[in-house]
Amino acid sequence: GENVEQHPSTLSVQEGDSAVIKCTYSDSASNYFPWYKQELGKRPQLIIDIRSNVGEKKDQRIAVTLNKTAKHFSLHITETQPEDSAVYFCAASYSSNTGKLIFGQGTTLQVKP
Amino acid sequence: DGGITQSPKYLFRKEGQNVTLSCEQNLNHDAMYWYRQDPGQGLRLIYYSQIVNDFQKGDIAEGYSVSREKKESFPLTVTSAQKNPTAFYLCASMGGGLLEAFFGQGTRLTVV
């Protein structure tokens, strides 16, 4: 069945450094790849997403890249700040707002001041 | 106040008892989802529903049951057959032409 693998499980960086989280997916039919951020004690919230017809998307300090051939996508956070500390989840689905959404295992990012 | 609401926030259950977690949304979303969150295992899909009166099993459906009698509601029952039910449960909905999933605040279930 569909599977999304996410690495690393934990990531610690110094404030101001960059952070990269990587995901691979198994279902070649997947064409929508969102990233969610879950702060401690809060619900996950969408921070950025990318569709399969695009190779890269940026939103201020965060960016996502997609390699359809290799079936992997990555989240890049530049100039990290302590408030970036959270659990980040990647996900994959077939583009439909009623479709099955499969999440990766999550990455706990710690940004040290 | 539009959104998705889960209740209760904390729930304690004795072994051998069934328990039902509530999830209600007023976003007019067609799709609703139940996930289980355990440390280091991410969000694992239990059940999802794309339309009223229809639902599909996710990756870890054993020991759980759901119903979707109304568009707004997607309750999850954790049965006594679920061998390790202690976890954090998240409900989500999606719809309105958008692909963003909106999550409830979660229910932490503890078996005592």
Chain B residues in contact with A46 by the CB 8 A cut-off are 100-101
What is the average pLDDT value for chain A, to the nearest integer?
A: 92
Chain A residues in contact with B35 by the CB 8 A cut-off are 103
Chain A residues in contact with B41 by the CB 8 A cut-off are 105-106
Q: Which among B25, B99, B107 is the top mutation candidate for probing chain A, defined by the most A β-carbons within 10 Å of its own β-carbon?
A: B99
The 10s digit of each residue's pLDDT in A68-79 is: 999 999 999 999
Distance from CA of A100 to the nearest CA of B (A): 7
Please give the Cα distance from A57 to A74 (Å, whole number).
11
Alpha-carbon distances, residue A78 vs A40, A63, B63 (angstroms): 21, 9, 43
The DSSP H or E segment spanning A90 is: strand A86-93
Which amino acid would we find at residue A48?
Answer: I
Confidence of residue B102 (pLDDT cuts 50, 70, 90): very high
Query: Are the Cβ atoms of B42 and A43 closer than 8 angstroms?
Result: no
Bridge partners (DSSP) of residue A22 are A7, A74
What is the model's pLDDT at position B2? 64
Among A17-31, A70-84, A96-110, the least confident range: A96-110
The 10s digit of each residue's pLDDT in B45-70 is: 999 999 999 999 999 999 999 999 99
Bridge partners (DSSP) of residue B4 are B25
Confidence of residue A103 (pLDDT cuts 50, 70, 90): very high
What is the model's pLDDT at position A52? 85
Confidence of residue B24 (pLDDT cuts 50, 70, 90): very high
Among candidates A32, A97, A104 on the partner chain, residue whose Cβ is nearest the Cβ of B42:
A104
Which residues have CB under 8 Å from B60's CB, separation 6+? B36, B44, B45, B46
Percent of chain A with pLDDT over 70: 96
Please give the Cα distance from A33 to B46 (Å, whole number).
20
What is the model's pLDDT at position A95? 57
Rounded to an integer, the average pLDDT of A86-103 is 82
The 10s digit of each residue's pLDDT in A32-65 is: 999 999 999 899 999 999 988 889 999 999 999 9
Half-sphere exposure of A61 (CA within 13 A, CB side): 12
What is the model's pLDDT at position B1? 52
What is the model's pLDDT at position A96? 57
Confidence of residue B98 (pLDDT cuts 50, 70, 90): confident
What is the average pLDDT value for chain B, to the nearest integer?
A: 93
